Structure 1
């Protein structure tokens, strides 16, 4: 923390208590940055700043701020003009209220900062404010000025430090009008049960285990091209990835895939049991005991003549053949007699 350069020095106004603090960034950006180049020869593309009146390039020390009026007139504004604004938040983080943390809409959250005590005299009041926030289980709503504008902030305790989240003004958050589906959709209880099962299966995650896979892939591409090698090809999309499933099937497959990825046993949830039972009851007539006994009887019947045939004599075969022939002729005679009587 001592190596982080402060971006703003001032004080927290806690009633009549003033706490000298230094504002430092609580986050850092690990994104890979690219330079613009000329695609034909790889030359760098640079933007140079020219003065319109003198038609020459100017340095950063020569550049200041100016406000353009409605008629196009530029009104110069200096840092001294902004530093002398007649508002208390120019160099002070003013605490205006204490509220429960759930009163803050996450949509209002902006940049995050740590507040470092500004020297030894600030240690006691800094600790007092930190412990008061802990015991009250509330957050402090503040107003402060930074980079040319007044902002809202929220103070909360993080470990042994006080952190400040920049907040957007309420009128800077858009209403979600026209975002939700216009169609009248009804969600069934079974669908909600499967969604709950999927949520339970996915469970919780330690955010420390998550990492930026996109950045790692870009780093691999850069390293490969720097070594004169071909970048690794992207994996082929899964077969049937574009196939449209009904919602219930998609939820069931999602629950199954989530459990398999975690190496868990099949679901034992009540709603999944219910679905499995209903599927079993539909398929049960195919596996009835009657069919099994019938097939067994057929097998026995088919096998018994072979055994008896091997043991019988030629005379028995002839008598059997004679009986069958007689049995075939008898129905024919009956049929003939019926036709005559008609």
Structure 2
């Protein structure tokens, strides 16, 4: 950063405070550029700058600026003319307001620059402005002139530095008329729930982890060609089934996102996890149960099954006990009946013996009387 060449020198106008600064680019391009060549022999194709009046090529030092009038007349404009523009922003970044950052539409964002303090005397006011921006949690809206035109800018704090973002003028941003679909479409709550679940599944990412894969692949091709090797083949694109149903597409996307994050295959096969949106007055469809609810349901089912088994075991045990008790009772009844029968038989036998004895006695008495 210390060796970056400044592209503009001037000052920040902060009320009556003037802060000398240098403007340097905050971004750089890493894209691979190509030259135009003659395909038959590989010769370079160059564009020459030719004066159409003299029909000869001219050097860069002979080239200036000119404004073409409505009638075709060219009005020369020199660098000295531009240096004496009747504008306070010709060499000054003039702060005109301080506003919350969310007041700036991202559509207006343009190129970004860093503002470096222009020498030791600028350190104090530079730091003052930086700390004031930090404490206010606002950004400064400013006007400045660069490359032949006045521009709108936004000053904000980045680390320990002040950055300047070029902004488009409000009338340079087109309105989105005619861009949105003109067909009437109804989105139900279940579709919104699935879309919300997909957003949650994809989650967040560190922007520092992202890189330009196209540039890396292009570098591989160039390196292979330079080494006389065959360039690497492009991988076969994934052939997914054509999904016409939005719900099916959302569910498939949720499963794919889970698989890409290394979640278990079983979890990927379950229906998409959804979250309820805030309740509305109108009746809404019940979202699908989450994997956690299914787990709870299966746990409740397991408990019910265990309870059923316990009840069945209890019934079997009771039945066995009842049968055993019944058998014992029957045995006792049979024994009692047998005993009673035996007793009756004994009594009958005794009765018969007694009656026989009485008869015998009577016969003996009768014989005695007869004698």
Q: For 1:104-253, what aligned pairs fall within 5 Å after superposition?
A: 104-240=104-240, 243-253=242-252
Q: Could you list the per-position Cα deviations for residues 250-272 of structure 1 after superposition, in whole angstroms to 9, with x for gaps in the alignment? A: 11111111111111242655567
Aligned match of 2:253: 254
Larger Rg: 2
Aligned match of 1:64: 64
Q: Could you list the per-position Cα deviations for residues 198-257 of structure 1 after superposition, in whole angstroms to 9, with x for gaps in the alignment? A: 11111111011000001111111111111111111111122335x133111111111111
- CA distance in 1 between counterparts of 2:197 and 2:34 reads 43
Residue 89 of structure 1 aligns to a residue whose secondary structure is coil
Unmatched tracts of structure 2, length 5 or more: 277-286, 298-371
- CA distance in 2 between counterparts of 1:203 and 1:239 reads 25
Residue 240 of structure 1 aligns to a residue whose secondary structure is coil
Aligned length: 279
- CA distance in 2 between counterparts of 1:252 and 1:75 reads 64
TM-score with structure 2 length normalisation? 0.72
- CA distance in 1 between counterparts of 2:221 and 2:122 reads 49
Q: For 1:309-324, what aligned pairs fall within 5 Å after superposition?
A: none
- CA distance in 1 between counterparts of 2:88 and 2:209 reads 43
Aligned match of 1:91: 91
Question: Does the C-alpha gap of structure 1 residues 30 and 38 become closer, same or farther in structure 2, counting only changes over 3 Å?
Answer: same
Q: Please state if 1:264 is matched with 2:279.
A: no
Misfit runs of 4+, over 3 Å = 267-273, 275-278
Q: For 1:273-288, what aligned pairs fall within 5 Å after superposition?
A: 273-274=288-289
- CA distance in 2 between counterparts of 1:268 and 1:177 reads 36
Q: Could you list the per-position Cα deviations for residues 181-201 of structure 1 after superposition, in whole angstroms to 9, with x for gaps in the alignment? A: 010001110111111111111
- CA distance in 1 between counterparts of 2:19 and 2:199 reads 45
- CA distance in 2 between counterparts of 1:130 and 1:211 reads 31
Residue 67 of structure 2 aligns to a residue whose secondary structure is strand
Residue 164 of structure 1 aligns to a residue whose secondary structure is strand
Alpha-carbon contact 2:194-2:273 (below 8 Å) kept: no
- CA distance in 2 between counterparts of 1:77 and 1:250 reads 60
Residue 289 of structure 2 aligns to a residue whose secondary structure is helix
- CA distance in 2 between counterparts of 1:39 and 1:262 reads 46
Alpha-carbon contact 2:221-2:231 (below 8 Å) kept: yes
Pairwise CA distance, 1:39: 1.1
- CA distance in 2 between counterparts of 1:176 and 1:268 reads 34
TM-score with structure 1 length normalisation? 0.79
RMSD: 1.9
- CA distance in 2 between counterparts of 1:71 and 1:270 reads 66
Q: Could you list the per-position Cα deviations for residues 49-93 of structure 1 after superposition, in whole angstroms to 9, with x for gaps in the alignment? A: 011122111111110000111111111100000010010000000
- CA distance in 2 between counterparts of 1:108 and 1:85 reads 25
- CA distance in 1 between counterparts of 2:244 and 2:186 reads 18
Aligned match of 1:15: 15
Question: Does the C-alpha gap of structure 1 residues 196 and 270 become closer, same or farther in structure 2, counting only changes over 3 Å?
Answer: closer
Residue 162 of structure 1 aligns to a residue whose secondary structure is strand
Aligned match of 1:309: none
Question: Does the C-alpha gap of structure 1 residues 197 and 139 become closer, same or farther in structure 2, counting only changes over 3 Å?
Answer: same
Aligned match of 2:314: none
